[in-house]
Structure 1
Amino acid sequence: MSMNNNNASSSAAKDPSPTGLLGRALAAAAVLALLWVVYGMVAAGNPLWAVAALVIGGLAIWVYTASTSLAWRYLFPGVAAMIIFIAFPLLYTVQIGFTNYSASNLLTEDRARAYLLDQADIDEAHAMSYTVHRAGTQVRLALQSDVESGAQRWVSPPLDLSKPLPADATADAAAVALAPANASSEAELGEALDIRGVIALRDGLRSLKLQVPGGAVLAYAGLREFGPFTPVWQAQPDGGLKQVATGLIFTPDRDTGYFTNAQAGRLQPGFKVGVGLANYTRLFGDPDMRGPFASIFIWTVVFAGLTVVFSTAIGMTLAVLLNWEALKYRTLYRTLLFLPYAVPGFISILVFKGLFNQNFGEINAILDAAFGIKPAWFADPTLAKSMLLIVNTWLGYPYFLVLCTGLIKAIPADLYEASAIAGAKPLTNFFKITAPLIVKPLTPLLISAFAFNFNNFVLISLLTDGRPDYLNTKLPAGTTDILVSYTYRIAFTDAGANFGLAAAISTVIFFLVALLSLANLKLTQSNDQRKA
């Protein structure tokens, strides 16, 4: 059998038919395309991405051209997608958790240094106003310094500014030489462009450097002026930066990720460096952060747990009641009770946000008319948490209603008939027959629901946005925040975009959810073994 497979593969490789030639041509084209992509990534300064693309692309080409295993041709897309969309983001998030990556530390050290070295100040005293004139399909610039200084006008040769000049044309040695204006050159100038025409050539003007004979190199300083620029920073041999105006030396501090000076402090932007376990130490060791984090973690567990308890209790109760055959219009009741699950969740959440409005909501209008109270649902932490549980229970009970209805239908009717003969009451049937028979298959689903609500970001974000906030905290934290919304606020909103700290919290959440998934798997396996 093995010899037959080898012969088949070798004959396919040597197949001179048009189909075989087309296959080899497509494989060669795929290899060339892969090498082109990898080269582009390396040229863009992303060698790690290039290696990853080369490995995955090379495996794909091998699987679909040289591999003799048909199974891998079906499995490879799923395995590759799992690596790209699950494993890689997970490992990347974990890696970020060990860095100071944030809004202030986005760049690498080299890019942060290059950004600072590109900074320059215009010398306003020697700036020149300019006009742009048509010269056939090209343009010419006429520059005029301050009239009071007696400086003469300067004229450029014809230039093509329809597109930016190449990068090497921005060097001083390649600057366009200006010539003194005279009667002849003035006469050769065409009509001056209006401001709209100058704006259309702005990209070309920005890349233009002009050299005054015996003077400084002028660069674009706006729609009205060209002028000489003085660098703000000078590179130092040890990798530091010297401030030209003050002579201060800023050295790279690779512990904090900033160019620092003992007298002047640190420069922005900073750069990304590894900080080890600093984010985790801050998360669990900083008293000012440990307090909110511990409270948020406890509330996350309570929120997820109570949501599952309330939703299960209501859904199971309704399922038992709707299973009563003597009840009329059971189908209508099931349809009406299932509606909260059929309506998109974000719509229901926004509707409830209006219903719970303290001044104009219908819920407070009813409470005010009946009891003379208007609870501050969004301002009081306890009421806000109660509101979240109410809304989430409303959104979740139809799911358990459907589950329990199906499980109850699977219970043999003989058990209830025997119980009726024995004279058992409905509560006895529920606690002795219904609950024991549905709780085991329902347990893994309860754990899944707990894990889902553990990361129920949409409800928190749309209904309370984590508010009301804790006071006197280093990072913004809300009393109704759960871990995932707390992480989002740290990473993307009003906490300074601290991606490293947010990644550390995300890693903690991942391991917590992974433990829940493992428990779910164990319970599922245990139930399967009992059934067997």
Structure 2
Amino acid sequence: MDANSPAKGSAGGLWLKIALLAVVILFGGYSVIAMYASGEYAFAIVTLLLISLGVYVFTNPRTYAHRYIFPGVAGMAIFIVFPMAYTVFISFTNYSGVNLLSLERAQNYLRALTYQADGGSFEFSMHPTDSEGRYILALKSEQDESKIYVSHSVEILTKKEITAARMRKADWPMVENGVELVPATALPTTPAEAIRTIVQTRDHLSALKLNLPDGDVLSMNGLRKFSALKPVYTLLDQGAIIADQIIISDSNTLRDNRSGELLRPNMNSGYYQYVDNNGQFVGERIPPGFTVGVGWKNYLRVMTDKGIQGPFLQIFVWTVVFAGASVGITLMIGMIMACLVQWEHLKGRALYRVFLILPYAVPAFISILVFKGLFNQNFGEINLALESIFGIKPEWYTDPVLAKLMILIVNTWLGYPYMMILCMGLLKSIPEDLYEASAMDGSGPVGNFFKITVPLLMKPLTPLLIASFAFNFNNFVLILLLTNGDPDIIGATTPAGHTDLLVSYTYRIAFEGSGQDYGLASAIATLIFLMVGALAILNLKLSKADH
């Protein structure tokens, strides 16, 4: 046996660790650079911190014990702490469907807008030359057909050729200063290229600038047309200067080239707006908007805006009632069912257990969709049966009270098997001697249930009931699939329904409606987090007090 084999094995393991560490550092570094380059600065900073901390923990002997818990801590930081912190940050901004961009990107978008100058539209054709891939560009004015201009021989590449040139890290041939056009008496005699060739070379043609003798610059404006396109807005990075006097010193000032008016970014509304010579905002807002900080505005809207405050409080009360009632009803039914299927004198107990657990085995979304059909107001089996027996057809989806009752019925069906399973397991931990002693004192099954079973089950069930309450507090899938929050709350300024829970209300604010107000939705999500946390702490204190 080779005496050096342990040392070789140790050296091999060391090199493997170094290689893995190098891969992690390289991959992490690339990810950080990619995030930073794409403007995701927060994600880049978090990733850099976690990778740096991970390298330190796994390479420092003094932090040896921490390496076992670091993956869990890192996962919690990425999937819990960071999203929550980012949500809180968004709640202090006007981030929404119309205020998505940064100021720089909104400015670049506006500066890229163009308009067609008067009299600057030309029909365009490509004529091949003796050299492959080189063409003469011919333009004829749409306003005056006697005005014809032609270019010299220009190399025009297809999209595939441009891609190949870029992969070779070569600058694909394009005239940076534009292609000069000269007057001509007639179009070239060679046949013009078909539309197919123009489509294949469109990327190159779109990048070309054609210079007319009078100084106008033409850009491609369709497959068969070049036009004198001018920028709608020009950046005045030195500020607006009128009569040799600086009137507006903002380096983000834009000038509307069509009217000569000035625009500045309004840091309160998150839009560019027209201003007067004193820099005061006097005109309309120009989309797209950009993201700015708004302080406590979103939270104040929740507290003061009647169209938000009323629905928010109404939905909050319903959410608490729904979560509490769901836990209470499912616990009651589950505990009774567990006692019944554990009853020794009941024949076929195993078969009953299977049938009673089936609702828990079927995927929840299938059961919800089945109930959605059963409660259909016109064709559902439930209304057909009620109409035939009692002559009534309840409006389950349009009446707020009935809609909430329907949700509780469906959620009870989905939730009682879970409680039954928990109680079935806990019932086996109760000593039979207690029931025998109670029977000797003359107590019956009902007395045993309330005096022995319920008290002994409630203590171990308390943490699970708190978890069930938190789950139902955020039971988004049930609301989304069954009612989608309907019927709507009249007078609400944001999407809100009588059956919405706070979580679905937040979702609808963020992703429904014209505004998609992510800032307001984040503020409400933060409030939900604080309320759920407070309720959880209160429940835990009450459960400790019971002990």
- TM-score where L is the length of structure 1: 0.88
Q: What secondary structure is seen at the aligned counterpart in 2 of 1:375?
A: coil
Q: What secondary structure is seen at the aligned counterpart in 2 of 1:264?
A: strand
Of 319, 334, 338, 2:357 maps to 338
Change (3 A) 1:16 1:435: closer
Tell me the amino acid that sits aligned with residue 349 of structure 1.
I
| TM-fit CA distance, 1:142 | 2.7
> What does residue 417 of structure 2 align with?
398
Change (3 A) 1:139 1:171: closer
Would you say 1:349 and 2:351 are equivalent positions? no
In the TM superposition, what are the counterparts of 1:405-484 in structure 2 within 5 Å? 405-484=424-503
The answer as to whether partners of 2:156 and 2:201 remain within 8 angstroms in 1 is no
Cα distance in structure 2, aligned partners of 1:134 and 1:522: 85
Cα distance in structure 2, aligned partners of 1:234 and 1:411: 81
Would you say 1:146 and 2:149 are equivalent positions? no
> What does residue 126 of structure 1 align with?
120
> What does residue 158 of structure 2 align with?
161
Tell me which moved more, 79-88 or 340-349: 79-88
Cα distance in structure 2, aligned partners of 1:331 and 1:133: 86
Of 499, 513, 532, 1:494 maps to 513
Change (3 A) 1:197 1:78: farther
Cα distance in structure 2, aligned partners of 1:20 and 1:137: 59
In the TM superposition, what are the counterparts of 1:77-476 in structure 2 within 5 Å? 77-123=71-117, 125-132=119-126, 138=133, 140=135, 142-146=137-141, 148-155=144-151, 156-162=153-159, 163=162, 174-178=177-181, 186=188, 192-194=193-195, 196-236=196-236, 237=239, 238=250, 239-261=252-274, 262-476=281-495
| TM-fit CA distance, 1:383 | 0.9
| TM-fit CA distance, 1:520 | 5.2
Q: What secondary structure is seen at the aligned counterpart in 1 of 2:85?
A: helix
The answer as to whether partners of 1:103 and 1:498 remain within 8 angstroms in 2 is yes
| TM-fit CA distance, 1:36 | 4.1
Cα distance in structure 2, aligned partners of 1:353 and 1:204: 56
1:378-437 residue CA offsets vs partner (Å, 9 max, x unmatched): 111111111111111111111111111111121111111122222211111111111111
Change (3 A) 1:133 1:353: farther
Identity within the alignment, %: 48
> What does residue 7 of structure 1 align with?
none
The answer as to whether partners of 2:175 and 2:208 remain within 8 angstroms in 1 is no
1:328-376 residue CA offsets vs partner (Å, 9 max, x unmatched): 1111111111111111001101001100111110001101110111111
The answer as to whether partners of 1:323 and 1:405 remain within 8 angstroms in 2 is yes
RMSD: 2.9
Cα distance in structure 2, aligned partners of 1:95 and 1:207: 40
Tell me which moved more, 233-242 or 382-391: 233-242
| TM-fit CA distance, 1:203 | 3.0
Tell me the amino acid that sits aligned with residue 149 of structure 1.
E
The answer as to whether partners of 2:138 and 2:188 remain within 8 angstroms in 1 is no
- TM-score where L is the length of structure 2: 0.86
Aligned residues: 512
| TM-fit CA distance, 1:23 | 4.8
Tell me which moved more, 59-68 or 93-102: 59-68
Query: Which has the larger helix fraction?
Result: 1
Tell me which moved more, 214-223 or 66-75: 66-75
Q: What secondary structure is seen at the aligned counterpart in 1 of 2:228?
A: strand
Cα distance in structure 2, aligned partners of 1:209 and 1:99: 41
The answer as to whether partners of 1:447 and 1:516 remain within 8 angstroms in 2 is no
Tell me the amino acid that sits aligned with residue 53 of structure 2.
L
Tell me which moved more, 171-180 or 56-65: 171-180
Change (3 A) 1:427 1:109: same
Cα distance in structure 1, aligned partners of 2:320 and 2:413: 19
Would you say 1:76 and 2:77 are equivalent positions? no
1:35-76 residue CA offsets vs partner (Å, 9 max, x unmatched): 444444444444444333332222223333444543233222
The answer as to whether partners of 2:372 and 2:482 remain within 8 angstroms in 1 is yes
Cα distance in structure 2, aligned partners of 1:181 and 1:454: 77
| TM-fit CA distance, 1:160 | 1.7
Cα distance in structure 1, aligned partners of 2:46 and 2:395: 54
The answer as to whether partners of 1:128 and 1:143 remain within 8 angstroms in 2 is no
| TM-fit CA distance, 1:193 | 2.9
Cα distance in structure 2, aligned partners of 1:304 and 1:207: 60
Tell me the amino acid that sits aligned with residue 249 of structure 1.
L
> What does residue 4 of structure 1 align with?
none
Change (3 A) 1:399 1:221: same
1:469-495 residue CA offsets vs partner (Å, 9 max, x unmatched): 012221121111111111111000115
Q: What secondary structure is seen at the aligned counterpart in 1 of 2:516?
A: coil
Cα distance in structure 2, aligned partners of 1:18 and 1:429: 67
Cα distance in structure 1, aligned partners of 2:175 and 2:230: 13
Q: What secondary structure is seen at the aligned counterpart in 1 of 2:124?
A: strand
1:454-507 residue CA offsets vs partner (Å, 9 max, x unmatched): 111111111111111012221121111111111111000115100000000000
Cα distance in structure 2, aligned partners of 1:321 and 1:20: 62
The answer as to whether partners of 2:124 and 2:226 remain within 8 angstroms in 1 is yes
| TM-fit CA distance, 1:445 | 1.4
Cα distance in structure 1, aligned partners of 2:216 and 2:173: 14
Tell me the amino acid that sits aligned with residue 161 of structure 1.
T
Tell me which moved more, 254-263 or 86-95: 254-263
